[in-house]
Amino acid sequence: MTTQDLIRELREPADSKIVLLVADGLGGLPLEPGGLTELESARTPNLDACVQEGVCGLSIPVLPGIAPGSGPGHLALFGYDPLQYRIGRGILEALGINFPIGPEDVAIRGNFCTLDGQGRITDRRAGRPSQEQNLAAVERLRRIQLPGVELFVEPVREHRFVLVLRGTGLGDQVNDTDPQAVGVAPLTAQGADPASQKTAELINQFTAAARQVLADCAPLNGVTLRGAARRPAIPAFTEVYGLKAAALAVYPMYKGLARLVGMDVLDAGASLQEQIATLGRVWKEYDFFFLHYKYTDSTGEDGNFAAKVQMIEQLDAAIPQIRALRPDVLIVTGDHSTPSKLRSHSWHPVPTLLLADTCRPDEATKFGERDCLRGGLGQFPAQYLMLLAMAHARRLGKYGA
Domains of the chain: 3-87+234-392 (3.40.720.10), 92-229 (3.30.70)
Instruction: Judge whether residue 208 has pLDDT over 90.
Output: yes
Query: How does residue 92 score in pLDDT terms, banded at 50, 70 and 90?
Result: confident
Dist CA 196 CA 2 (whole Å) = 31
- Three-class SS state of 244: coil
Cα separations in angstroms, 204 against 110, 233, 354: 13, 28, 46
Name the helix (H) or strand (E) containing 224: strand 222-229
3-state secondary structure of 353: strand
Nearest to 235 by CA among 64, 7, 387: 7
268 pLDDT above the threshold of 90: yes
Looking at every residue in the chain, the average pLDDT score rounds to 95
- Would you put residue 148 in left (φ > 0), alpha (ψ -120 to 50) or beta? left
Asked if pLDDT for residue 88 goes beyond 90, the answer is: no
Evaluate if residue 149 carries a pLDDT over 90. Answer: yes
The β-bridge partners of 152 are 164
- pLDDT tens for residues 219-261? 999 999 999 999 888 999 999 999 999 999 999 889 989 999 9
Mean pLDDT, rounded, for 31-54: 97
Q: Residue 204: what pLDDT?
A: 97
Of the candidate ranges 94-98, 381-385, 389-393, the one whose mean pLDDT is the lowest: 94-98
Q: Is it the case that residue 86 has pLDDT exceeding 90?
A: no
Is the pLDDT at 167 greater than 90? The verdict is yes
Query: Is 90 exceeded by the pLDDT of residue 2?
Result: no
Model confidence pLDDT, tens digit, residues 295-320: 999 999 999 999 999 999 999 999 99
Q: For the residues 263-268, what does the mean pLDDT come to?
A: 96
The model's pTM is: 0.84
Confidence of residue 332 (pLDDT cuts 50, 70, 90): very high
What 8-state DSSP symbol labels residue 113?
Answer: E
Q: What is the pLDDT of residues 271-292, one digit of tens each?
A: 999 999 999 999 999 999 999 9
Segment among 8-12, 174-178, 228-232, 283-287 with least mean pLDDT: 228-232
Sign, CA dihedral 74-133-152-263, equals positive
- The Cα 88–Cα 109 span in angstroms is 9
Is there a contact between 91 and 183 (Cβ–Cβ < 8 Å)?
A: no
User: Residue 70 has what DSSP assignment?
Assistant: H
